[in-house]
Structure 1
Amino acid sequence: MEYIIIARWLIMYAAIFLFGLPIAARLLPMTSSRGVGLAVPIGLLLISFPAYWVGHLPGGWGLPALLAGTVVLVVSAGLAIIDFSKLRNEQKRIQIRFTQAMRPSRRAISDTVVVFVASFAFIILIRAFDPAVIPIGGEKFLDFGLLKTLSRSSSLPPTDFWFAGEPVKYYYGGHLTTILLGWLTETPPRFAYNIALAGYYATLVTAAFEVSGAIAEANGHARRVGGTIGAFFTGIAGNLLTAARLTVASLPASLERQATGIIAQQTGDSAQNINTALQSFSYWDASRVIDGTINEFPLFAWLNGDLHAHMLSTQTLLLGVGIGYAYYRTSRYKKRRRQILVFGAIPLTAAWQAVQNTWGFPSIIALGGLAILVAPTHPVTLLPWSEYPREAPRTNSHIDRIYYEIIRIGWTVGITLICGAIAVGFAAPFLFETATGGGQRTIEFLAPTMRSSIAGLLLVHGAFIIVILGYLYTQLSDQLSADSQSRARVVTGSILLVGGFAVLTWWLNLPVIIITLPVLVAALIGARITHTVGYEAVLIIGGAGLITLVEIMYLNEQAGPGRMNTVFKTYAQVWVLWAAAMGIAIPGLRRAQTPPNSSSSPSSPSSTEQLSSEPDTSSSPTATVTATTQADSPTSIGENLQSAELFGSITQSIISVVIACLIISTSMYGVLAIGGHLAAGPPPGGPTLDATEFVDRAHPTEAVAIDWIDNRRGQPTLLEAPGTTRYHDDSRARATYSWYGNPAASLTGVPTVAGWNHEVGYRGQAAYRDRVSDVDLMYTSNASTRATLFDKYNITYIWVGPGEQARYDNISFSMNAVSVAHHSGNVTIYAVDQSDFPS
């Protein structure tokens, strides 16, 4: 094990944490923790985004970019730590210290450190047992290739190692951060790959602990309880598929067959496949629940070990949630602070998210809009010409209330669009250069036959749905039973919302509405009408909205068939949002059902005090009846209280059992998957974090040649067989997702002419196919054609290994300017001297 490298990374994260601490305190001074769990995400953003911008300058990527990011973080921390309230004109000096209101508690700091270190160590253990960046079962060749090409590039965007001579057309922000951290700790990519995975996981879980704990504490619950629940559902819990399969497998044979048939009908899978899955556990199955989609969750993703964009961006998503919460908690009279948050912090975070994972860019903007919508302060007060906060109408007219809410929504949408436009400006180099390409992408409506079944949706989201619906019901029920005015408003609002969604359901044939409609309506009513639901409504509505959206439309692209990639990248965000919401919902659900006890409530007088305060009316005939009623009332009240306590105790017990069952059922995947992972044992040489250790062991005849290529300076162009078996007679069973698809370019970052057919999605089929044809000609055509194409693509080296032999059979380069540069095992590498070709 590489313990020295691990120690260097922990020291680096500690430094980032310390510099991010005062900035987090400025962001969330109203919380007892002062946002301490968001210090690392803030620090990573402030290092990475300036480095990204400086990296676009000629020769700017490297030391200049690293220095720029480091300076921005240090200066930002210094400005945050200045107590400007102590800056007095007559003294002309600045007090550089925390105010008492901004100083985080030692308990909050210790909690955060414990959560981060434990999460970091957990993934280090998992990756040490399976560190290899093998091509099968994920995007590891893509992810590692991005690290290597970033480490070789001198400016941004980096060269596409699968499309030589052209820049990367993929979101690479998380990989950029990984390389920066690798430079800070002097860690080569082969080790940085797995250690960065542990760091991103720890940052995500810690951010979930912070967000859940802060909101739960504001709602009157214990911060540690809410934070721990949020961290558990974010980093440990899995979906309900494993528990469902274990339950079905435990049934008698006849019932098991019936259950298998129902599952097959609902999921579109075959009964035979389901029977096979019941007999043996595979960690992979839980990510492929809904037919034609990918349904990953964090534990699966980190167990699988891709250093992929949808994983590296989750901590930035929660940072966006934290910024929205800061706006939600800011006083209406602190206009400048609210403007900075909406028109500065949110766009900046969303812009960096675009570079990390473009799928999350609109999500952060939308979450910011939801925060503006549910916040007590009217959104129009964000505008410069609005001087006074607008209040909700105090009239009982439902029409006035509806009109007010419609106007408020309109202003929210407008301000959110302005926020989005600013974010586009921040991310302009990426959105208008890297994100644009020749790939065909269209937004299309989903055919009814492609939509998810109710059973599939419940297996993926069921644990969240049960708790969130129960929480929203308890939050609304007491308020509506006691407040007739609120009840009338809710009835009116519900009729409008349900009616609108019913029309939409009928028109589009949307089964998902059965699940998401109650959540959306209840959360919106709780946040805007009854005010019994707080900022957690943003998390709940955000998740439900994304689930509904991908059942209506999808991005049609070459990254998988149909809506596979759309659901994949969207559900990763849904899980994070709803997992954080669980940290508020579960404590709120249990507290709402606590048996009433009048004597323990300091805010309400006892029944005896209430009776003694009644006026004496015994002198009238009516008074006799009244007095009798009053005399009997203590007994009645006592009986009612006993009944209420009994009912509350029973309800509380049921809720506790349900919550315990959900926690156990969502833990089953982790127990089996992690147990099997560790039982398989580490690599033969012992636990390691070396991502390329497997090459020497599994592919010894090519390992030396790959090392030789890796030791070349700069980014010479390498000719390899294309990463596709199409467009040519090819004896390879497959190229993409196999070792025979561009191992040299993917493991070294030295660009090749035509890599994996992922490039179809980035460049378009015609551009990729033209390159594949040219590669085939360079391996098989005459000397004249070869020389022309060598010059066109500026070929420096030619790789001839098993993949090339399988595609082209006999290969020879008996021509001027081409000579053997290296030979080892079953690989020959030719060097091309361009100067020897005739002009």
Structure 2
Amino acid sequence: MEVLLVGRWLLAIAVLSALAVPIAARLFRWTPGRGVGLAPILSVAVLTTTGYWIGRLSFGIEALAVGVVALGVGALWASVDLDAARRGSLSVADDAVPADRRAIRNALLVFLGAFTLVLLIRAADPAITPVGGEKFLDYSLLRSLLRAESLPPLDPWFAGETVNYYYGGHLAAALVTILSGVPPAYAYNLALATVYACLIAAVFELARGIAADRIADRIADRPGEPADSENDSRHDHVGAPSLATGAGVAAAAAVGLASNLATVQSLLARLGPGSGAESEPFHYWDASRVIEGTINEFPFFAFLNGDLHAHMMGAPFLVLGTAIAYAYWRTPESELRRRRLLVFGAIPVLGGTVAVVHTWDLATLFGVVWLAATFAPARPLTLLSAGSVRSFGDDSDAGGDSGADGGSDRPLLREEIERTGGALVVTALAAGLGGVLAAPFLLGASSGQEPALVPPGQRSGLGGLLTVHGAFLAAFLAFLTGRLVGIKPRPAGTNARLDGIKPRLAGIGPLLVGLAAVVGSGLLVGVPAIAVVAPPLVLGWVALRTDQDAGFETALVIGGAGLVGLVEIVHLAEQAGPGRLNTVFKTYFQVWTLWGIAAGVIISELWAHGVAGIGHVRTTSGREKGSGGPDGRETNTRTSAAMVLPDGRTVARVLVALLVVSTLPYAALALDGHFDRHDVGTLDATAFVAADHPEEAPAIAWLDDHATREDVLLEAPGTTRSPEGLARAAEPGMYTWRANPASSLTGVPTVAGWDHEVGYRGVEAYERRVAAVDRAYAGPTVERVRTLDAYEVTYVWVGPTERERYGEDVAFDHLEGVSVAYETDRVTIYRVDQDALPG
């Protein structure tokens, strides 16, 4: 039966993805597979966006139907050759369907491989246990959505109020659950596998697209073929598809399998003197708690741990937004309409959805857009020009080229301000549009969060930073240093815009000396993060600004470095975690995603071409040329890294090998330990209830079957708090089975659930609920009735937790209007007739 359930789920995903393929092909026409690897998350994004807006009126089959129709209409529009349609004929557009079967096959294999990996992990340990994660929260949100008549759904842990948390990823899972007809207990684990597969397939597709473009930029254009042609033939150079695919696989491994250096450090420590019996055994949890006072998750840890949490579900949406930003990067300046649709259309719509999926990703999404607009060949302010794109900002007397790579011969500072500031203006407008679309959610989101400076005592130490980010930094610094080694001024005319920049760079030596001074100053003043942030940020910025064979992957390096530095300066003060725990937790997951994509491209580059790579430059026409020697032959304008390093390729390959052996052992050890400890053999996320809690399982099943959308449950709150001291024991606390199992596993709202609600509602509001629940179980009759009436309770749960917290003799059947609805040896469920309660 479970095989059929998996088949139904995959069929639903396949149908949705197939509908999104023509849209992806138009959006991401530059990738070898024309966006086929991005089609799954694109389809989910369209379904979620439509389901969210229609769901505010009516959620369920209606919202799902409109979402599928929206996908179908989009697929039809993207498939039609509009030029032919204007001439009166109907035909399929050439670029609406991926033509490279190998590229399609590779993307499909990556998706299915990632899906199968997590499916096997969850089949061994499918339980949504509350220990060591947020599974109770995630499953309760999914169940609440499946019970919802409209959005936002009711909060399962704060009856009578709607969810005050980002739930868009759970909304997507609920829509696919409805479409496939899979029971929720199975849908949880299938959704988890799908999120991972969407993430890895999207990363694979984006990385191989970036790599393919780098390869194409090094191949002399074919006679008569425009430099900016989107024709796939630009990627048909011998070996190019394999190199691009290698970059995609490397990125997929960096995001989906790699870990930080904590594991290899532990393994090396065991080999050192004095090791042996005293060494700590490997545990998968340890690598996520490296920097004191923070959480340093990476994707493989998160999916192995098995939460269906917002920061995980937001990751593929962030990759989709990054791919759209790169689509803007790849679009020539002359294609103004397409660039505007990407920046002011696709990005704001996606941003409005990202806010509901995982609000923390919103700033990062627009940060990536800002970087793309800042460094893309097209000048950002042309997006706001009503006149000719070519004439915008061209104030040179000589009428110099102001095309995508050019511009008037103006001072460096003015050029930088126009590019950077113009990108900021454009991004702010796009963010404003996204904010308008996200307003219905953001205006009702949890309050009490405010920015605060990170106290010096809470800053990350250099050792922890290098353990978490060291592998990425090694690859990035090798790559960027290779781009900049031996910088020489270009002859006048090679690139008009850069003529004013190149003579200012006598070489990388002064730059490295300056960086060393900055790093040393940071260490002296107690800000070690500068040593991690400044080198990739500065070297990346210089490499991009001086056109040193660096591209979008370098912009992602800069973006990740900026995020790492940001959380050392400021954090959000909130109830979700002490200090900056939650800020680092959410931000580092984004850093890993962006840097993993960049690492895949860069590792492939290092392996194929060595530390310096191929030192060609491009003229404003897009053709690869050298410095234009007197004989007209192309020459390399940059000193080869071989003049500095004896064998750049050998050094690079040794580095890549070291990165592999230092980041992949975690996955092998964690999987070995996981399958050694667990062998359940089902995808039923709730099967553990009957096995581990047989005294409560039948009652939970009965409540799930009989409760309606209007019902409200009263059970002991998931907290050790007891504001009025009525609780006899400090139970149950969070992250235990005793914390609200009935409401969490059914989605039936309870009056006061987990202590998490403090972060959503505030201490006062939550404790007021807890006190009311305590009075209902242990107070005088008048107070008990008052609570049942005030919160419109229809079912009262009395189980082991309630008896431990309030006493063995706790009961409600003596109250008028309250009767026993279901009873076992350890659990009694009372039904409350609100109309019959005493006045």
Q: TM-score range by the shorter chain?
A: 0.7 to 0.9
Say which is worse superposed, 710-719 or 238-247, in terms of deviation.
710-719
Counterpart-to-counterpart distance in 2, 1:111 and 1:236: 18
Which residue is equivalent to 2:230?
none
Counterpart-to-counterpart distance in 1, 2:455 and 2:369: 31
Residues 372 and 552, structure 2, Cα contact 8 Å, conserved in 1:
yes
Displacement after TM superposition at 1:399 (Å): 7.7
Displacement after TM superposition at 1:497 (Å): 9.2
Residues 678 and 657 of structure 1: CA distance in aligned 2, closer, same or farther (over 3 Å): same
Which residue is equivalent to 1:235?
256
Q: Cα RMSD (Å) of the superposition?
A: 3.0
Say which is worse superposed, 374-383 or 710-719, in terms of deviation.
710-719
Which residue is equivalent to 2:618?
none
Map 1:169-248; keep pairs closer than 5 Å: 169-220=164-215, 222-248=243-269
Residues 197 and 302, structure 1, Cα contact 8 Å, conserved in 2:
yes
Residues 391 and 658 of structure 1: CA distance in aligned 2, closer, same or farther (over 3 Å): farther
Counterpart-to-counterpart distance in 2, 1:302 and 1:422: 33
Displacement after TM superposition at 1:567 (Å): 0.5
SS, match of residue 85 in structure 2: strand
Say which is worse superposed, 765-774 or 530-539, in terms of deviation.
530-539
Map 1:413-452; keep pairs closer than 5 Å: 413-433=424-444, 435=445, 437=446, 439-452=447-460
Counterpart-to-counterpart distance in 1, 2:254 and 2:99: 25
Counterpart-to-counterpart distance in 2, 1:780 and 1:561: 32
Residues 398 and 455 of structure 1: CA distance in aligned 2, closer, same or farther (over 3 Å): farther
Which residue is equivalent to 2:802?
804
Counterpart-to-counterpart distance in 2, 1:508 and 1:61: 55
Which residue is equivalent to 1:13?
13
Counterpart-to-counterpart distance in 1, 2:501 and 2:467: 35
Residues 504 and 357 of structure 1: CA distance in aligned 2, closer, same or farther (over 3 Å): farther
Which residue is equivalent to 2:105?
110
Which residue is equivalent to 2:670?
673
Displacement after TM superposition at 1:833 (Å): 1.0
Displacement after TM superposition at 1:680 (Å): 1.7
Residues 733 and 739, structure 2, Cα contact 8 Å, conserved in 1:
yes
Residues 190 and 692, structure 1, Cα contact 8 Å, conserved in 2:
yes
Displacement after TM superposition at 1:732 (Å): 4.7
Which residue is equivalent to 2:131?
136
Counterpart-to-counterpart distance in 1, 2:349 and 2:758: 31
Counterpart-to-counterpart distance in 1, 2:484 and 2:310: 38
Displacement after TM superposition at 1:485 (Å): 6.9
Counterpart-to-counterpart distance in 1, 2:516 and 2:380: 27
Which residue is equivalent to 1:24?
24
Counterpart-to-counterpart distance in 2, 1:419 and 1:764: 32
Say which is worse superposed, 508-517 or 445-454, in terms of deviation.
508-517
- Which sections of structure 2, spanning at least 5 residues, go unmatched? 216-239, 401-405, 492-498, 616-623, 634-638
Counterpart-to-counterpart distance in 1, 2:460 and 2:443: 34
Displacement after TM superposition at 1:650 (Å): 3.7
Instruction: Read off the aligned partner of 1:29 and give its amino acid letter.
Output: R
Matching residue within 535, 543, 555 for 1:518: 535
Instruction: Read off the aligned partner of 1:459 and give its amino acid letter.
Output: T
Instruction: Read off the aligned partner of 2:504 and give its amino acid letter.
Output: R
Larger Rg: 1
After superposition, what is the alpha-carbon deviation per residue over 1:4-37, rounded to whole angstroms, capped at 9, x for unaligned?
0111122222212211111111112233321221
Map 1:321-720; keep pairs closer than 5 Å: 321-389=322-390, 390=392, 400-433=411-444, 435=445, 437=446, 439-480=447-488, 487-490=502-505, 505=522, 509-593=526-610, 650-683=647-680, 687-711=681-705, 712-720=707-715
Displacement after TM superposition at 1:108 (Å): 1.1
After superposition, what is the alpha-carbon deviation per residue over 1:64-96, rounded to whole angstroms, capped at 9, x for unaligned?
11111111111001100011121234x3x432x
Instruction: Read off the aligned partner of 1:704 and give its amino acid letter.
Output: P
Displacement after TM superposition at 1:510 (Å): 2.2
Residues 166 and 356, structure 2, Cα contact 8 Å, conserved in 1:
yes
Residues 103 and 85 of structure 1: CA distance in aligned 2, closer, same or farther (over 3 Å): farther
Residues 606 and 649, structure 2, Cα contact 8 Å, conserved in 1:
no
Residues 595 and 648, structure 1, Cα contact 8 Å, conserved in 2:
no
Counterpart-to-counterpart distance in 1, 2:613 and 2:564: 37
Counterpart-to-counterpart distance in 2, 1:820 and 1:597: 78
Percentage of matched positions with identical amino acids:
42
Counterpart-to-counterpart distance in 2, 1:124 and 1:597: 42
Displacement after TM superposition at 1:694 (Å): 0.3
Counterpart-to-counterpart distance in 1, 2:817 and 2:365: 54
Displacement after TM superposition at 1:406 (Å): 1.2
Residues 196 and 497 of structure 1: CA distance in aligned 2, closer, same or farther (over 3 Å): farther
Residues 17 and 43, structure 1, Cα contact 8 Å, conserved in 2:
yes
Displacement after TM superposition at 1:479 (Å): 4.0
Residues 398 and 489, structure 1, Cα contact 8 Å, conserved in 2:
no
- Which sections of structure 1, spanning at least 5 residues, go unmatched? 258-274, 614-640
Displacement after TM superposition at 1:648 (Å): 6.5
Structure holding more helix per residue:
1
Displacement after TM superposition at 1:656 (Å): 1.3
Counterpart-to-counterpart distance in 2, 1:337 and 1:604: 29
Counterpart-to-counterpart distance in 2, 1:115 and 1:29: 20
Residues 204 and 315, structure 1, Cα contact 8 Å, conserved in 2:
yes
Residues 482 and 588 of structure 1: CA distance in aligned 2, closer, same or farther (over 3 Å): farther
Say which is worse superposed, 389-398 or 411-420, in terms of deviation.
389-398
Say which is worse superposed, 769-778 or 500-509, in terms of deviation.
500-509
Residues 2 and 108 of structure 1: CA distance in aligned 2, closer, same or farther (over 3 Å): same
After superposition, what is the alpha-carbon deviation per residue over 1:700-754, rounded to whole angstroms, capped at 9, x for unaligned?
0000010111112224111001110122444355421001110000000001000
Counterpart-to-counterpart distance in 1, 2:389 and 2:521: 38
SS, match of residue 411 in structure 2: helix
**TM-score scaled to structure 2, two decimals?**
0.87
Map 1:787-798; keep pairs closer than 5 Å: 787-798=785-796
Counterpart-to-counterpart distance in 1, 2:377 and 2:695: 67
Counterpart-to-counterpart distance in 2, 1:20 and 1:806: 53
Residues 36 and 104, structure 1, Cα contact 8 Å, conserved in 2:
no
Residues 596 and 645, structure 1, Cα contact 8 Å, conserved in 2:
no
Map 1:36-47; keep pairs closer than 5 Å: 36-47=36-47
Say which is worse superposed, 199-208 or 521-530, in terms of deviation.
521-530
Which residue is equivalent to 1:266?
none
Residues 834 and 645 of structure 1: CA distance in aligned 2, closer, same or farther (over 3 Å): closer
Residues 491 and 166 of structure 1: CA distance in aligned 2, closer, same or farther (over 3 Å): farther
Residues 480 and 486, structure 1, Cα contact 8 Å, conserved in 2:
no
Displacement after TM superposition at 1:588 (Å): 2.0
Residues 480 and 307 of structure 1: CA distance in aligned 2, closer, same or farther (over 3 Å): farther
Instruction: Read off the aligned partner of 1:312 and give its amino acid letter.
Output: M
Matched, 1:746 2:754: no
After superposition, what is the alpha-carbon deviation per residue over 1:758-799, rounded to whole angstroms, capped at 9, x for unaligned?
000000000000010000001112222222221110011111
Residues 541 and 646 of structure 1: CA distance in aligned 2, closer, same or farther (over 3 Å): closer
Displacement after TM superposition at 1:499 (Å): 11
After superposition, what is the alpha-carbon deviation per residue over 1:558-616, rounded to whole angstroms, capped at 9, x for unaligned?
00111000001101110011111011111222344389999xxxx999xxx99999xxx
Counterpart-to-counterpart distance in 2, 1:246 and 1:751: 47
Instruction: Read off the aligned partner of 1:552 and give its amino acid letter.
Output: I
Instruction: Read off the aligned partner of 1:94 and give its amino acid letter.
Output: L
Residues 380 and 386, structure 1, Cα contact 8 Å, conserved in 2:
no
Displacement after TM superposition at 1:658 (Å): 1.9
After superposition, what is the alpha-carbon deviation per residue over 1:492-521, rounded to whole angstroms, capped at 9, x for unaligned?
996999699789959984211111101001
Instruction: Read off the aligned partner of 1:411 and give its amino acid letter.
Output: G
Matching residue within 117, 121, 124 for 2:119: 124
Residues 483 and 612, structure 2, Cα contact 8 Å, conserved in 1:
no
Counterpart-to-counterpart distance in 1, 2:174 and 2:685: 15
Residues 381 and 604 of structure 1: CA distance in aligned 2, closer, same or farther (over 3 Å): closer
